[in-house]
Amino acid sequence: MRRRPDRRVLLAVRVARLGRAEPEATRPETFGVRNRGALSTSSRPPRARVAVTAVRGVALAAVCVLFAVLVYRLVHAPNSGLAQAVKAHRAPTAPNVRLSVIWPHALTWPRGLRASATRGKLRLSDLRGYPVVINFWASWCGACRREADVLSSAAKARRGRVVFVGVDVNDLTSDARRFLSKHQIPYVAVRSGDSITERFGLVGLPETFYVDRRGRIQNLTRGELSPSTLERELDRASRD
């Protein structure tokens, strides 16, 4: 005759088995341990998940609005037609603006124009009679830093024959001058204003405009310049 196991022994065995089979989700270390106390998305309370979703939705909506505004400004900019005219080879006249000189070093300019760089102000109409390269840049612009030596070398190679002008955009004058000194820029730089960026229809940095002897824009380059692109556009502007 088999003896029935002691009920206390059976109870102890069952408790032990329950301990070994305890679900992972009920163990205390699974709550917030993976990220040092931060809740995972699945373990957040319902209200927290709703709040996170709402914040993400607002952020996405804000990005969409900003993008729409940017597109509208590009399409409806006061002089978006200027860039279109250039691309259509209509050679529009360059806007005549008066700008403050922040770097009067006209080492590569024709001798007859160098005095105009020392007056503190410069008008683009003062440069008529020579091909002009107008480069919009900033010291914080990575592509501007990379193309600075390309522009400097081209200005030296065409000393006295082509006028280079740098237009510093949305920058501190001290930072701009450090940039110009570091890259040993041998031509005049001026500070931009709302008038020139709007009238040229500027959409980004860097941008370079090529103006012929009669003050007409023959072409423009948006983005970083390569030596071959600059040489090709200089040859074209010098012929007209």
- Inter-residue long-range contacts of 59-66, CB under 8 Å, 24+ positions, other chains counted: none
DSSP labels, 46-79: HHHHHHHHHHHHHHHHHHHHHHHHHHHHHHH-TT
Q: For 64-74, what is each residue's pLDDT tens digit?
A: 665 554 444 44
d(CA 92, CA 215): 9
Residue 163 has pLDDT above 50, yes or no: yes
- Model pTM? 0.68
Residue 97 has pLDDT above 80, yes or no: yes
Average pLDDT over residues 136-161: 98
Task: Write down the pLDDT at residue 80.
Answer: 61
Q: For 181-236, what is each residue's pLDDT tens digit?
A: 999 999 999 999 878 898 999 999 999 999 999 999 999 999 999 999 999 999 99
Average pLDDT over residues 126-140: 97
d(CA 173, CA 163): 22
Q: Report DSSP state, residue 93.
A: B
Task: Write down the pLDDT at residue 49.
Answer: 62
Q: Which residue has the tokens 């500027």?
A: 202
Number of Cβ within a 10 Å radius of residue 32: 13
- Considering only CA atoms, which of 66, 40, 64 is closest in space to residue 52? 40
Q: Report DSSP state, residue 216.
A: B
Average pLDDT over all residues of the chain: 80
Task: Pull the structure tokens for residue 22.
Answer: 């305890």
d(CA 121, CA 187): 15
Task: Write down the pLDDT at residue 194.
Answer: 76
CA 48, 49, 50, 52 torsion: positive or negative? positive
8 A C-beta contact, residue 191 and residue 126: no
Task: Pull the structure tokens for residue 230.
Answer: 């600059």
Instruction: Tell me the pLDDT band of 28, cut-offs 50, 70 and 90.
Output: very low
Instruction: Tell me the pLDDT band of 23, cut-offs 50, 70 and 90.
Output: very low
Domain assignments of the chain as residue spans, ordered by start? 26-76, 81-239
8 A C-beta contact, residue 154 and residue 225: no
Task: Write down the pLDDT at residue 41.
Answer: 43
Q: For 81-239, which CATH superfamily applies?
A: Glutaredoxin (3.40.30.10)
